[in-house]
Structure 1
């Protein structure tokens, strides 16, 4: 464009989307390489690049030994190790060796010839990359012969490429979390960051700038002391390490198992584990060391120690506290402090416990119950007016009602059975029993009989009958029949 079209550098830069300085630099390199336009037809792109960007000449001399660049590359993966430090150590052993700038240029030229995934320098213990493989495994149902596809979970440590793989039934949250727990146990620790693809199981909202991590996944990370870092959408280099790990698992494990049939997931995972150990123990091309040797030298000492207990899978649910200061979780009702009535809370649900959080603070913890439509109530959560009734039970109310009279016992049982939760009828029943102190057992039993005839089921009805002395009113005269007369207008008259 400069020589054929005579365009100025600014126009060239705007056309190619480069800075003017970059264009000027390319033209300077062309002049330094004595290139003339038009270029020779025998000059290909690789040769042109070599002329424009020549490698620094390697000086072969006893006083200027060439550093072991593979060793330098490995050392850079250790925490806080820099090229400046390695150069100082190099010069300490070779005082007449390369200067710092030349040393850096030679290293970068060597690193530039590595595979793209190897050029990334990962600090030991810093990152663990996780993903599902695109290829699936197979398990055969022994009863029906149906072939069930299973997913392959892969985890790769950044510095050593030490790899873990296992088969799970699906990519849903429970299997995703369980696979992480087993991977952490396999490594014997966790990296400071866990880099995940934007799977629905782990990332509820994929966003280039502010992705949202699933609450359970974040809970797992907090338990193990790692940070979930979602890979940026459409940035494959963010997860290049695990992509290579997926290829390795596919070629060296799944391909070798393609002719075998497995009738249980555990059987398949045992076969995967045997081949996985071979993969981690095999020397890597270009490194001269195995993944396991690199792991033991780099990642293993730098990993975060495992907590005393493995993570227990938990799901989260948003709830609103009902007027009875209980929240519903899996059709069971758990109490919270009564001051939180109508407030929004979060329930953390495991197989054994239910914890309730309000604005990030735990306000209640219950042993999980599988009894549907029943409450679990802590006395301290009740308002003071309700605590008076906490010692009452269904059996105690029935027993005291029978002691007052048979009709009291029947009405109490009717009231308790009419409520969704029998405890909701406790206050009515206790109120009826306490009427005995004021009116006597005989009158209260007669009032309950009267309430049963009228079909009423409340303390207020029984109290009204006693107050008005209606407990002995005959049922036949209590409700006079409606008059039947031909002159009485029916409802159809008004339409």
Structure 2
């Protein structure tokens, strides 16, 4: 049985007691609580290393250990075989279902008589302990994408005349397993820029992770909670579109997103340090510079201690585990709660949109995109419209109107004028008089509509004669024209008109009523 390996503090004491104080081997073991064989083994190693007391000045514990145990061999003689490729082992362990035991089995198959499993694990833990704390976290391939904003922005000159400067906000996303990093600049950290940055990040990665891990920013999380955080509805809808899920970090638990914190630090040093002397005049220029530097970070610079680039890790580890991107990217939408008015319309962004009239006064949700407005009641879509301008006008679908309103839906002042002209010049002239004599033309809309519709029961010829009679006597209402027709006054002879039969309308011409 070989002697146990002693700590360097004990090794120094063994050497001092033996050569400085002349203490026996057995007594040294008794004083230090070591077996005599261990003491003898240490002294033999000292002699093999060619060291004498006092030890060379400046020799630390690391150098002493290297000298004493440089030629140590295990009972399995593993030094006859090459050292395992620990970075490759570390990459393999990120793959789903891969364990240290599986990797060790493969190592022994390739190197019979190599390290025992316990020694293999011990050496791997020693390698792992030298990595950064972020790298020591366990991240399965394709599982998590961490997202956050950098603390500092990039100054952009937005007005060359005044020199006004505005900070562009830098969005950062990093994959847990491969550390593949994405960065993009936007003007704000508001919801539209937040969603747009996510869409761009997923396109840059070329796939979809199983989880998105933001912090508890109000843009993403409406209500932070350790057990059941409430995620913004638009953000959740985007996650559904990409078939992924959102897992916000726990409140006040920065270690939950240590990966992105480290990535933010790297981005700030890698980007902001290199861009500090450049002057930008547009957001496009900023993003072009960021894209160039991030490409270098991912594809040129290898990760320290692993010896491979982030792009290589992405293709080797994350890519096979990522979900496919959907055919179409997510289109940004906003949700707004509304109440339907008594006129079965809702107001959204200074425009009015109709819903079926039976939903008047109901509480509904409106989903707004750049092109459409969709209206939902308890999760069921009840109306959809093309988005209109914010001009306080109405967009109404005929089918949404009650039958009593539908009868008037297709009528306009221009249509009434056109139909009146088809009946005859007198009818057209009467309608013009009705419209002109009201403070607002639309106030005479229904009177003219009633006059034109009298052609159905009485015929166009009689209505034309009645219109001439109404103009002669100064009647300007629907009731007067109908009374003329009901009493057959349209059949009485009227004053002679101009040769073309068109009524002469002029404010300075006195009608027959003046002489009565």
- Asked whether the two chains share a fold, i.e. TM above 0.5, the reply is yes
What does residue 134 of structure 2 align with?
Answer: 117
What does residue 151 of structure 2 align with?
Answer: 134
What does residue 389 of structure 2 align with?
Answer: 370
Task: Tell whether the 8 Å contact from 1:336 to 1:381 is kept in structure 2 after alignment.
Answer: yes
Separation of aligned partners in 2, 1:219 and 1:262: 34
Separation of aligned partners in 2, 1:222 and 1:340: 28
Asked whether 1:176 is paired with 2:194, we answer: yes
Q: CA deviation at 1:384?
A: 3.5
Task: Tell whether the 8 Å contact from 2:335 to 2:365 is kept in structure 1 after alignment.
Answer: yes
SS in 1 for 2:247: strand
Q: CA deviation at 1:199?
A: 1.8
Residues 262 and 433 from structure 1, CA distance in 2 versus in 1: closer, same or farther, beyond 3 angstroms?
same
What does residue 82 of structure 1 align with?
Answer: 99
Separation of aligned partners in 1, 2:353 and 2:189: 31
Mapping of residues 374-393 of structure 1, within 5 Å: 374-393=393-412
What does residue 295 of structure 1 align with?
Answer: 314
CA deviations on 1:406-456 (whole Å, 9 max, x unpaired) are: 45445457889587xx9xx9777645644666797548995997778xxxx
Separation of aligned partners in 2, 1:207 and 1:462: 73
TM-score (normalised: structure 2): 0.68
Asked whether 1:242 is paired with 2:260, we answer: yes
Residues 428 and 354 from structure 1, CA distance in 2 versus in 1: closer, same or farther, beyond 3 angstroms?
farther
Separation of aligned partners in 1, 2:292 and 2:185: 13
Task: Tell whether the 8 Å contact from 2:233 to 2:335 is kept in structure 1 after alignment.
Answer: yes
Residues 413 and 241 from structure 1, CA distance in 2 versus in 1: closer, same or farther, beyond 3 angstroms?
farther
Separation of aligned partners in 2, 1:100 and 1:427: 95
SS in 1 for 2:408: coil
Task: Tell whether the 8 Å contact from 2:374 to 2:381 is kept in structure 1 after alignment.
Answer: yes
Task: Tell whether the 8 Å contact from 2:144 to 2:210 is kept in structure 1 after alignment.
Answer: yes
Separation of aligned partners in 1, 2:481 and 2:73: 106
Task: Tell whether the 8 Å contact from 1:408 to 1:444 is kept in structure 2 after alignment.
Answer: no
Structure 1: state its 5+ residue gaps.
Answer: 1-32, 36-46, 48-56, 453-458, 470-495
TM-score (normalised: structure 1): 0.71
Residues 316 and 417 from structure 1, CA distance in 2 versus in 1: closer, same or farther, beyond 3 angstroms?
farther
Q: CA deviation at 1:133?
A: 0.3
Task: Tell whether the 8 Å contact from 1:325 to 1:337 is kept in structure 2 after alignment.
Answer: yes
What does residue 184 of structure 2 align with?
Answer: 166
Q: CA deviation at 1:239?
A: 1.0
Asked whether 1:307 is paired with 2:330, we answer: no
* Structure 1 vs Structure 2 CA RMSD: 3.8
Q: CA deviation at 1:270?
A: 1.4
Residues 194 and 464 from structure 1, CA distance in 2 versus in 1: closer, same or farther, beyond 3 angstroms?
farther
SS in 1 for 2:161: coil
From the CA coordinates, give the structure whose radius of gyration is larger: 2
Residues 293 and 408 from structure 1, CA distance in 2 versus in 1: closer, same or farther, beyond 3 angstroms?
same
Separation of aligned partners in 2, 1:233 and 1:335: 42
Work out the number of aligned pairs and report it. 407
Separation of aligned partners in 2, 1:367 and 1:445: 48
Separation of aligned partners in 2, 1:196 and 1:444: 77
Asked whether 1:327 is paired with 2:342, we answer: no
Q: CA deviation at 1:391?
A: 3.3
Asked whether 1:61 is paired with 2:95, we answer: no
SS in 1 for 2:295: helix
Mapping of residues 399-418 of structure 1, within 5 Å: 399-400=418-419, 404=427, 406-411=429-434, 417=440
